[in-house]
Chains A and B, each alone.
Chain A
Amino acid sequence: MQTILDKNQLHLTIQRLAHQLIENHPDIENTALIGIQTGGIYLADKIVEILREIQKDKKILYGKLDITFYRDDIRKEHHVPNQTVILFSIENKKVVLIDDVLFTGRTIRAAMDALQDFGRPQKVELCVLIDRKSSRQLPIQPDYCGKAIDSIISETVKVKWDREEVVLF
């Protein structure tokens, strides 16, 4: 097992992602942050916490999206659906999808499909903690990336939120 990010690096990386987001979204109240269930929620929670800290007077829109019903592999295996909580309209908003690991790109494809059911965003961006380069099966790339790594398809990348580290095995 190989450690990709240790506790300290993980902390710094999340700080950087949050700051990059503010940099690119000066009008943060017109931006909706959407965490993807379940892995993306931990990261999104942390980013939103930091944003709320540095933009105290601004309202940060934060939602959670479950993509189970939009998967393209429901015939292969059944997944347990999780909560979707988006209590605002995303019509004409800038949406930032947040997930922990970007791998084949299929989850993000499903998430973009799901987003359409909540309105037509002005723009959709993608923020991920780990980008597993060259394992994409769809033309999807992140706009904000914590760390890009080389890995082969049989390997697994796991973000251990309880121990605050990212490992490859």
Chain B
Amino acid sequence: MQLSTKHLLGIKDLQKSDIESIITTAKEFKEVLQRPIKKVPSLRDTTIVNLFYENSTRTRISFELAEKRLSADTINFSSLGSSITKGETLLDTVNNILSMKVDMVVMRHSASGAPHFLAKHIPSAIINAGDGINEHPTQALLDAFSIQEKSGSLEGKRVVLIGDIMHSRVALSNIYLLKKMGAEVMVAGPPTLIPKHITEALDVQVEYNLKKALQWCDVANILRIQLERQNQVLFSSLREYSLAYGINKKLLDSLNKEIIIMHPGPINRGVEIDSDVADSNQSIILQQVENGVAIRMAVLYLLSGKSH
């Protein structure tokens, strides 16, 4: 049952058995979350700091709720209003927080590799809540949990990731995880948003035609266009992107099968996904959010033993 790693830095470092352990544990935590008292005392001796150097709604609330449901003590830190503005380095900030006896660190950072750097310098367990354009492991885990819950084993499932693959940490974590679990993975989007050589590097299929991609898949995970990470023009306008790669009801109805629609949020309604799809029965977007708390509880629970 022990995980093979001390930290959760990315899906890349996990074994298939780790992923299975986390999902199995999450199922039981999901049951806890349906009870009248949605709380267990497992981590009542653990203090966790949530370090958010980048904006977040879902992930941050989800982690905080997960920690509280496990009875851990939590501290929240956001770079805005902190001593970061006075020039304190990441390592100094974290060491100062840890000297106040904090056991685990959950961190989101805009620099890829920031949690990996931290892991080399501090003894506490670190959970990556998203680092730049690298990985977002808990999102991939909750996506896998949601697919399994909706339609069974990932083995042989055809999953397409659509949109801004280049700037998406959700895409990279999902690709690693789905491949490890034996799913078939395709990425689809405009050529400017799909990294070159991705087929050779990650063993995924590439498709530039949205309809063909949807025809092929069982599950479509639609990604947000990450305007904040694009420092050059990669498509002419949001409207044009939406016309070529936006998913609407008409398009889904034209397929001769029903596929599962996912989105990690926040959604840009009318850009990558239309409201009539996001709010339809095919969409499991809100189940993803619900499962996120259980997955994060499982990760914190399974890693907590290592930090004491």
A89 — which chain B residues lie within 8 A by C-beta? 36
Given that A68-B28, A83-B28, A83-B31 are known contacts, is A78 also in contact with B2, CB under 8 Å in the complex? yes
Look across to chain A and name the residue whose beta carbon is closest to the beta carbon of B39: A117
Given contacts A80-B1, A81-B24, contact A117 B35 (CB under 8 A): yes
Does A118 belong to the interface (CB within 8 Å)?
yes
The smallest C-beta distance from A65 to any residue of chain B, in angstroms, reads: 11
* Chain B residue nearest to A117 in the complex (CB): B37
**CB within 8 Å of A: which B34-58 residues:** 35-37, 39-42, 45
A113 in the interface, Cβ–Cβ < 8 Å? Answer: yes
Q: Cβ of B28 and Cβ of A66 under 8 Å apart?
A: yes
Cβ of A93 to closest chain B Cβ, rounded Å: 14
Of B174-182, B211-219, B244-252, B300-308, the segment with at least 4 beta carbons within 8 Å of chain A is: B300-308
| CB-based contact B305/A81 at 8 Å | no
Q: Are A119 and B36 in contact (CB under 8 A)?
A: yes
Q: Using an 8 Å CB-CB cutoff, how does the interface string of A71-104 with B read, 1 for contact, 0 for none?
A: 1001100111111110001000000000000000
Q: Contact residue range for chain A?
A: 20 to 34
Q: Does B25 contact A (CB under 8 A)?
A: yes
User: How many whole Å from B35's CB to the nearest CB in chain A?
Assistant: 6
B28 CB → nearest A CB, Å:
4
User: Bound state CA distance, A23 and B39, in angstroms?
Assistant: 36
Given contacts A78-B2, A78-B302, contact A70 B39 (CB under 8 A): no
Residues of B within 8 A of A113 (CB): 41
Chain B residue numbers with a CB within 8 Å of A161 are none
Q: Is the interface of A mostly helix, strand, loop or mixed?
A: loop
The reply to whether B40 and A75 contact each other, CB–CB distance below 8 Å, is no
- CB within 8 Å for A70 and B1 given contacts A75-B308, A83-B31, A118-B35: no
Q: Which residues of B contact A69 (CB under 8 A)?
A: 28-29, 32, 40-42, 301
Q: Are B31 and A84 in contact, with the CB atoms below 8 A?
A: yes
A117–B31 Cα distance when bound, in Å, is 12
Least CB separation from A66: chain B residue: B28
The distance in angstroms between the C-alpha atoms of A85 and B28, with both chains bound, is 10
Q: Which residues of A contact B302 (CB under 8 A)?
A: 78
Q: Looking at the assembled complex, report how far the CB atom of B145 sits from the nearest CB atom of chain A, in whole angstroms.
A: 15
CA distance in complex: A66, B32 (Å): 10
Q: State the Cβ distance, B101 to closest chain A Cβ, in Å.
A: 16
Q: Which of A70, A81, A116 contacts B25 (CB 8 A)?
A: A81
Smallest CB separation, A126 vs chain B (Å): 21
Q: Which of A66, A80, A116 contacts B24 (CB 8 A)?
A: A80
Q: A80-B24, A81-B24 are in contact. Are A74 and B36 (CB under 8 A)?
A: no
Which residue in chain A gives the minimum CB-CB distance to B35?
Answer: A117
When distances are taken between beta carbons in the complex, the residues of chain A under 8 Å from B42 are 69-71, 74
CA distance A117 to B35 in the complex (A): 7
In the assembled complex, the Cα of A71 lies from the Cα of B304 at a distance in Å of 14
| A79-B31 in contact (CB<8A) | no
Judge whether A118 and B36 touch: CB under 8 Å: yes
| Complex CA–CA separation, A106 to B308 (angstroms) | 21
A sample of 23 cross-chain residue pairs with beta-carbon separation below 8 angstroms, ordered by A number, consists of A70-B40, A70-B41, A70-B42, A74-B42, A74-B304, A74-B305, A75-B305, A78-B1, A78-B302, A78-B305, A81-B24, A81-B25, A81-B28, A83-B28, A84-B32, A89-B36, A114-B40, A117-B35, A117-B37, A117-B39, A118-B35, A118-B36, A119-B36
Please name the 6 residue pairs, one residue from A and one from B, whose CB atoms are nearest each other, closest first.
Answer: A69-B40, A81-B28, A117-B37, A78-B1, A69-B42, A80-B1
A residues contacting B by CB (< 8 A) are: 66, 68-71, 74-75, 78-85, 89, 113-114, 116-119
